[in-house]
Amino acid sequence: MYLLKKLIKIDMKKQLSNKKPSIEELKKKLTPLQFHVTQQCGTEPPFNNEYWDNKKDGIYIDILTGEPLFISKDKFDSGTGWPSFTQPLEKKNIVEKEDKSLFMKRIEIKSKAGNHLGHVFNDGPQPTGLRYCMNSAALRFIPVEKLEKEGYRKYRKLFE
């Protein structure tokens, strides 16, 4: 059991480094959809993705780096078919970038390592008025009961 815990800690340290793997490594690690979304600024289909209707308590992390991004307490049903949040859990773990594609001006949300996550819009509910519209393919959900086991103990208190 000790060895397993040690291996999990080592793997978490590896995952939490925001050094970006090579394209070849990414293609091996990610599904084609995850690669398209995170590396080619793609968008997954609405209402047909893993977390759009997830109602469980927990946190959402970057699928590649393991950086904590969002918490279920800030998640809301935006009616768009994608997981939407009023604010990031850790603002320091996201980067905002102007996006002028598709003949409109938007703010793209990326991880610190440069992985595309989604976009933020100013049509969300209070208290922020923001809607962080994310792609499930760029996220991994960790339920509250697994936070400690997966190395995210400090976020457990946010659910007490």
Residue 135: burial class (beta carbons within 10 Å; 0-12, 13-18, 19+): buried
State which amino acid sits at residue 128.
T
Task: Return the half-sphere exposure (C-beta side, CA atoms, 13 A cut-off) of residue 51.
Answer: 26
Catalytic residues: 133
Percentages (nearest 5) of helix, strand, coil residues in the chain: 35, 25, 40
Which residue, 149, 124, 145, is CA-closest to 134?
A: 124
Q: How many CB atoms lie within 10 A of CB 51?
A: 20
10 Å CB burial of residue 33 (0-12, 13-18, 19+) is middle
Q: In this structure, are residues 124 and 131 in contact, taking their beta carbons and an 8 Å threshold?
A: yes
